[in-house]
């Protein structure tokens, strides 16, 4: 029944466990595993893309269901998609971090009433500081966010970390955990109605383990 669904599959860190999950659901992933350049597989049933693009394709109906990280869904909260299942893998933490020693971000808040925060997740960071009643100037960066507090661009960063190794290697420490992010199954709202039987079958099998 899952063969009736077009599925958006995330490349990168989530790919391996996503393909294992699809195998358990009866989807043949051999071609995806053997070809890292091709994007469409199995007559278009599987579409591979960056995790950040999955909600875009699912919202537009180019895919019926998709798998992406909760961090992506938090940052793209305006997307009209249904979040159906917490798949449990790809666990990372969204954290607020700064250079070890005295906390420059707290000091800036105390002295100036505002702190500068560099991040690849500007909406998530802004929402967190607003929720916790603090003023932050959000600086969006695309590359290595750890560089920002080391060069004076910002007092702190908001970033996703799995092990904390990159933070430690750059002399940064976690000050606060904002959220835990794992892989999630999402669906297009129209497909959720029109292909309800197929999607409910997938959800039921996933919840049953």
Averaged over 102-128, what is the pLDDT?
A: 96
E-strand spans in the chain? 7-10, 40-41, 46-49, 65-69, 82-86, 92-99, 115-119, 136-140, 156-161, 172-181, 183-187
Euclidean distance between CA atoms 9 and 115, whole angstroms: 37
Question: What DSSP state is assigned to residue 113?
Answer: S
Q: Name the pLDDT band for 127 (thresholds 50, 70, 90).
A: very high
> For residue 2, what pLDDT is reported?
84
For residue 173, CA distances in Å to 37, 65, 105, 143 come to 37, 37, 12, 19
Euclidean distance between CA atoms 132 and 74, whole angstroms: 16
Instruction: Indicate the CATH number for domain 2-90+182-207.
Output: 3.40.190.10
> For residue 42, what pLDDT is reported?
75
For residue 16, CA distances in Å to 36, 73, 164 come to 12, 20, 21
Reference 159, options 122, 130, 107; nearest CA is 122
**Mean pLDDT value across the chain:** 95
H or E stretch including 190? helix 189-194
CATH class of 92-181: alpha beta
Nearest 5°: the CA angle 175, 161, 10 is 150
Give the tens place of pLDDT for each residue, 65-111.
999 999 999 999 999 999 999 999 999 999 999 999 999 999 999 99
Averaged over 186-199, what is the pLDDT?
A: 97
Pair type for strands 65-69 and 183-187: antiparallel
Euclidean distance between CA atoms 15 and 3, whole angstroms: 19
**Domain edges within the chain:** 2-90+182-207, 92-181
Tokens 């607020």 sit on residue? 96
Tokens of 12: 């990168």
Q: Name the pLDDT band for 35 (thresholds 50, 70, 90).
A: confident
Same fold, 2-90+182-207 and 92-181: yes
pLDDT at residue 147 above 80? yes
């Amino acid at each position: 029944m899952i063969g009736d669904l077009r599925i958006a599959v995330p490349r990168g860190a989530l790919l391996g466990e996503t393909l294992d999950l699809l195998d358990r659901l009866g989807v043949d992933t051999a071609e995806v595993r053997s070809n890292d350049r091709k994007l469409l597989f199995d007559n278009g049933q599987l579409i591979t893309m960056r995790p950040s693009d999955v909600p875009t394709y699912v919202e537009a109906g180019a895919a019926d269901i998709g798998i992406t990280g909760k961090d992506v869904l938090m940052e793209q909260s305006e997307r009209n998609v249904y979040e159906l299942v917490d798949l449990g893998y790809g666990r990372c933490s969204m954290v607020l971090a700064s250079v070890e020693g005295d906390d420059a971000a707290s000091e800036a808040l105390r002295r100036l009433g505002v702190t500068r925060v560099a991040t690849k997740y500007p909406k998530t960071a802004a929402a967190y500081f607003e929720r916790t009643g603090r003023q932050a100037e959000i600086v969006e960066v695309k590359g290595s966010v750890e560089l920002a507090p080391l060069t004076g661009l910002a007092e702190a960063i908001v970033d996703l970390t799995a092990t904390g190794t990159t933070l430690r290697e750059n002399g940064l420490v976690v000050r606060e955990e904002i959220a835990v992010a794992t892989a999630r199954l999402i669906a297009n709202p129209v497909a959720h109605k029109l292909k309800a039987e197929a999607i409910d079958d997938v959800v039921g099998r996933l919840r049953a383990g």
